[in-house]
A and B are shown apart, each in its own frame.
Chain A
Amino acid sequence: MIEFEQFRLANGLNVVVAESKKAPLVAFDLLYHVGSKNEKWGRTGFAHLFEHLMFEGSVHAPGKLFDELLQNAGGENNAYTTEDLTNYYELIPSHEVELAFWLESDRMRFLNIDQDSFENQRLVVIEERRQRVDNQPYGTAMERLASMIFDKHPYRWPVIGYVDHLMDSTLDDVSVFYQKFYSPDNATLILSGDISLNQAQDLSETYFGEFKSSGGIARDFEFDQVLTSEKRETVYDSVQLPAFFMGFPTVSETHPDYFALDLMADILSNGKSSRLYQDLVYSRRIAQSVSAFQEQNEHPGIFGMYGIARPGADLRTLEDFTFSHIQKIADTGVTESELEKVKNLSISSVINRMQGVANIADFMSRYAGLYQNPGYVNELIQKVDSVTSEDIKRVANTWFSQTNRAVLHYLPKVTS
């Protein structure tokens, strides 16, 4: 259990405080409810690029002062962007916590970016894309799969964005995006560690209290229907072993079926005793690795599976065998002991995320920032525990059909 308090400033900033005196540290997470799904086509990757720009200086902490002051205070800081959110965080000795309030409040309202730093960070982001996506074996698989599954919804493009869109973006886009999404009522502050509620209230009011609310942000999204026929593509790439990637549009993390789908993915591939590992990697030895996962998203995401074929194994056979494990669960369900096992694994991973002030703040931030419900972290174990074997059989029958899926094959490029 994580004990916490929550309050809201008049301008809408939501503040969560999970006090703990175990270590002289405070984790300070400031989450903005904006991610790549708030981008428009033509400017993909912008939310993440913007995250980089937030480190490039504000009016009272210009240039590199943000990093310098935090490092000088013994603090670490970073940020990440997903489809749904952008989270900026500091881990700072508790005796220096006021500095984090000063710096984060300054860049919430007084960001100051010039053309040079904009262009520099755009280059950095393009190198990040090359390093993580373009120069990695199978690196483009997940973004290709998403673009096959989603036609309208912005989950169809990757958080890192496309290079030509990044190159088309301008400094004007920066100020429009900033005005639209970076306001106290679109943010949640999570404080975990050696800080009291009183201290948190005083500092929040002092540093963020004078900012104006945006008055509300329009959020209109187009959603896709289920696929009516299978989509299939083959990519010839710089890889040694053939691989398949398969995706099914399923549910958001708040859908009642989410936990059953997540546990089903665990039964299929979490650990060496899982069904796919035991059958395809260990017994038949046709796969080098296999995986199944349910994405965790605010809007309906993907249930994905992939398999990398061992040398000599037939990719289509591997794909069919993998899919047959879903059909088997749909037909005959899962055993009680299997379900107990994945519940224990899932509970262990929840406990791991509750260790250390930085993990606690990160764990709560998503639920606090997207749903105003930080206490959700304390309900997770019960939600996992209440999934029945019937639930898993039911979701296997509901969400997986051969027409509601996209399949991608990666084959070694023929070299001359």
Chain B
Amino acid sequence: MALDRTIIPTGREPDPFVFPHWQEFTLINGLTVVILPDNRFPQISYRLMIPSGATRDGMQSGLTSLTSELLSRGTKTKSSSEIAELTESIGGRLSTGSQWDASFGFISSLSKYKEKSLSLLAESVLHPAFHESDVQFLIDQRLNNLLMSRDSTSFLASFAMGCTLFPDHPFELPINGTPKSLKTFTRSTILQHYKRWIQPCASILIVLGDVDAEQIMPQVETSFAEWKPMPWEPYSLPVLPLIKKNLVVIADKPDAVQSSIRIAHHGVSKKHPDMPAIIVMNTILGGYFGSRLNLNLREDKGFTYGVRSVFSERIFPGYFAVATDVRNEVTGDAVKEIFHEIRGMQKELVDQKTLINVRNFLVGRFPSDFETTDQLSQALMELKLYGFDENYFSRLRNQISRVTAEQVLDAARKYLDPDHAVIVVGGKASEIEPQLRQFGDVTLFESDQI
């Protein structure tokens, strides 16, 4: 008998989600060590998180990330090339860098080299050389990358968005710095920054892989014992300047065939208590393939290959942004549709079908973010960085599954702000400027920083 294909199969209730159990130790100098054994693969990774990120750059954009990147570029006894050779010989990857809220050192290798990889990471972080020539090398690399980025409309749009949304604020300029700021850094600026901010107190080392605590703790203690703690300097950020009315900014690229659009306003902290409702609200608006923005701009109008909305994940409130690339001639229409969808979220309750669909989507896909050793190590870091407890992820999943249409509407009214937004477009000004005038006074982006 032929199958009756008109009957849609139905599933069962989802299984509960439980984050795997880890062990935790604290060294005398304040370094917390988190160990999560996982013997499925002959691999090990160490992720060191130091809670001083690019937010502390102040007006010295790029200094924190440059300092931390240089940690993997040579120590007092090993040159940059030797460190690379030793790491890669054990099938390893060593990387160091910064995000807004923290700086990182990461090394992974085959587990038979677990001692070697640990000592390479510890030596890199505790005894960096900051050789003059490596400092100059990395600065030049960054300057050239910035130079190349000037041909990318999406880079231009993101750069201009930061400048427009966060003037005179640490979030104004990119984590990696600008041509102007990078040229002011010297070995001694970097050394000073290192001594002030790279320290064990409140830092976390996450050990994940084919290892157990008894095996590795003695070496962890020896490797990091001499790292000296210091009291943390408290810091706060300047109050965000109010965007009084919508601003339109074009970063001109005269030969662009697409416009990179960013519609953005100030956002919320990653630790915001309304986060479950914000996540559901943003997913409906522009957080997944079936979102209102994507169905409108891509699936209905064919303006773009894709469009997303996002709340930046930072301790201090960052931004909310809608981002998309569209062909020149529909730039104004695309902006109009984006505003239409944002305002639509604020006008009325979402229908139950959409709400249930999005909640199910978020709840069902949840376990897929915690499968690989790298994902688990990232997730642990997120818990530690934001001070979440061990039940955070399972609680978040439950909260998401219960968000109501009223909470979504409330979140849209509180945390979307289409009347205090910036409309930043990287693209061909001569063609798109007339299309954008309807949204506010248009200014051409100019900056001595780029």
Q: Using CB atoms and an 8 Å cutoff, list the residues of chain A in contact with chain B.
A: 22-25, 59-61, 64, 67-69, 71-76, 91-93, 95-96, 98-99, 101-102, 106, 110, 119-128, 130-132, 134-137, 206-207, 210, 238-241, 270-274, 278, 282, 285, 288, 308, 310-311, 337, 340-341, 344-345, 347-348, 351-352, 354-359, 413
| Interface flag for B410 (CB, 8 Å) | no
B151–A238 contact, CB under 8 A?
A: yes
A210–B365 contact, CB under 8 A?
A: no
Query: A106-B5, A238-B255 given as contacts; is B92 within 8 A of A73 (CB)?
Result: no
Query: A67-B289, A130-B325, A131-B325 given as contacts; is B108 within 8 A of A348 (CB)?
Result: yes
The number of inter-chain residue pairs (CB within 8 angstroms) is 215
A-B contact pairs, 5 of them (CB 8 A): A130-B257, A282-B80, A288-B141, A341-B85, A345-B91
> Which residues on the A side are within 8 Å of B256 (C-beta)?
135
> Which residues on the B side are within 8 Å of A355 (C-beta)?
40-41, 371-374
Q: How close is A247's CB to chain B, nearest CB, in angstroms? A: 22
B371–A95 contact, CB under 8 A?
A: no
A351–B290 contact, CB under 8 A?
A: no
Q: Given A348-B110, A356-B375, list of 11 further CB < 8 A pairs?
A: A67-B289, A67-B290, A72-B360, A73-B360, A101-B9, A127-B325, A127-B326, A240-B150, A241-B147, A344-B89, A354-B41
| Interface flag for B168 (CB, 8 Å) | no
Q: How close is A96's CB to chain B, nearest CB, in angstroms? A: 4
* Chain B interface SS verdict (over half): mixed
Across the A-B interface, give the 3 residue pairs with the lowest CB-CB distance, nearest first.
A74-B364, A123-B302, A344-B91
Of B89, B145, B356, the contact of A341 (CB 8 Å cutoff): B89
| Interface flag for B351 (CB, 8 Å) | no
Query: A127-B325, A344-B110 given as contacts; is B258 within 8 A of A285 (CB)?
Result: no
A341–B88 contact, CB under 8 A?
A: yes
Taken together as a complex, chains A and B put the C-alpha atoms of A247 and B285 apart, in Å, by: 44
A127–B305 contact, CB under 8 A?
A: yes
Query: A71-B357, A288-B141, A310-B144 given as contacts; is B371 within 8 A of A357 (CB)?
Result: yes
> Which residues on the B side are within 8 Å of A270 (C-beta)?
88
Taken together as a complex, chains A and B put the C-alpha atoms of A101 and B325 apart, in Å, by: 34
Of B11, B110, B366, the contact of A347 (CB 8 Å cutoff): B110
A76–B145 contact, CB under 8 A?
A: no
Cβ proximity bits B78-108 to A, threshold 8 Å, 1 near / 0 not: 0011001101111111000000000000001
Taken together as a complex, chains A and B put the C-alpha atoms of A135 and B152 apart, in Å, by: 7
Taken together as a complex, chains A and B put the C-alpha atoms of A124 and B296 apart, in Å, by: 12
| Interface flag for B3 (CB, 8 Å) | yes
Taken together as a complex, chains A and B put the C-alpha atoms of A155 and B80 apart, in Å, by: 40
Taken together as a complex, chains A and B put the C-alpha atoms of A124 and B8 apart, in Å, by: 29
> Which residues on the B side are within 8 Å of A413 (C-beta)?
255
Chain A residue nearest to B9 in the complex (CB): A98
Q: How close is A283's CB to chain B, nearest CB, in angstroms? A: 8
Cβ proximity bits B136-178 to A, threshold 8 Å, 1 near / 0 not: 0100110011011011110000000000000000000000000
A98–B11 contact, CB under 8 A?
A: yes
A102–B9 contact, CB under 8 A?
A: yes
A71–B144 contact, CB under 8 A?
A: no
Query: A74-B363, A127-B326, A347-B110 given as contacts; is B14 within 8 A of A93 (CB)?
Result: yes
Of B108, B137, B148, the contact of A285 (CB 8 Å cutoff): B137
Of A132, A272, A344, A352, the contact of B84 (CB 8 Å cutoff): A272
> Which residues on the B side are within 8 Å of A308 (C-beta)?
148
Query: A71-B360, A102-B9, A288-B148 given as contacts; is B15 within 8 A of A64 (CB)?
Result: no
Q: How close is B375's CB to chain A, nearest CB, in angstroms? A: 8
Q: How close is B304's CB to chain A, nearest CB, in angstroms? A: 5
Chain A residue nearest to B7 in the complex (CB): A102
Chain A residue nearest to B370 in the complex (CB): A23
Chain A residue nearest to B303 in the complex (CB): A127
| Interface flag for B30 (CB, 8 Å) | no
Taken together as a complex, chains A and B put the C-alpha atoms of A319 and B82 apart, in Å, by: 26
A120–B300 contact, CB under 8 A?
A: yes
| Interface flag for B12 (CB, 8 Å) | yes
> Which residues on the A side are within 8 Å of B298 (C-beta)?
124
Of A60, A119, A136, A340, the contact of B6 (CB 8 Å cutoff): A60
Q: How close is A177's CB to chain B, nearest CB, in angstroms? A: 21
Number of interface residues of B (CB under 8 A): 77
B371–A278 contact, CB under 8 A?
A: no
Taken together as a complex, chains A and B put the C-alpha atoms of A64 and B89 apart, in Å, by: 50
Taken together as a complex, chains A and B put the C-alpha atoms of A4 and B273 apart, in Å, by: 45
| Interface flag for B127 (CB, 8 Å) | no
Q: How close is B432's CB to chain A, nearest CB, in angstroms? A: 14
| Interface flag for B43 (CB, 8 Å) | yes
A240–B148 contact, CB under 8 A?
A: yes
A93–B11 contact, CB under 8 A?
A: yes
Which has the most chain B C-beta neighbours within 10 Å: A59, A93, A356?
Answer: A93
Q: How close is B371's CB to chain A, nearest CB, in angstroms? A: 4
Chain A residue nearest to B371 in the complex (CB): A356
B305–A131 contact, CB under 8 A?
A: yes
Chain B residue nearest to A119 in the complex (CB): B302
Chain A residue nearest to B366 in the complex (CB): A74
| Interface flag for B239 (CB, 8 Å) | no
| Interface flag for B368 (CB, 8 Å) | yes
> Which residues on the A side are within 8 Å of B327 (C-beta)?
126-127, 130
| Interface flag for B358 (CB, 8 Å) | yes
| Interface flag for B448 (CB, 8 Å) | no
A72–B361 contact, CB under 8 A?
A: yes
> Which residues on the A side are within 8 Å of B299 (C-beta)?
64, 120, 124
Chain B residue nearest to A272 in the complex (CB): B84
B11–A95 contact, CB under 8 A?
A: yes
Taken together as a complex, chains A and B put the C-alpha atoms of A23 and B374 apart, in Å, by: 15
Q: How close is A408's CB to chain B, nearest CB, in angstroms? A: 17
> Which residues on the B side are within 8 Å of A345 (C-beta)?
88, 91
> Which residues on the B side are within 8 Å of A24 (C-beta)?
14-15, 367
A240–B147 contact, CB under 8 A?
A: yes
Taken together as a complex, chains A and B put the C-alpha atoms of A121 and B305 apart, in Å, by: 9
> Which residues on the B side are within 8 Å of A132 (C-beta)?
305
> Which residues on the B side are within 8 Å of A99 (C-beta)?
8-9, 11
Which has the most chain B C-beta neighbours within 10 Å: A67, A110, A337?
Answer: A67
Cβ proximity bits B231-259 to A, threshold 8 Å, 1 near / 0 not: 00000000000000000000001011110
Of B3, B12, B92, B368, the contact of A348 (CB 8 Å cutoff): B92
| Interface flag for B295 (CB, 8 Å) | yes
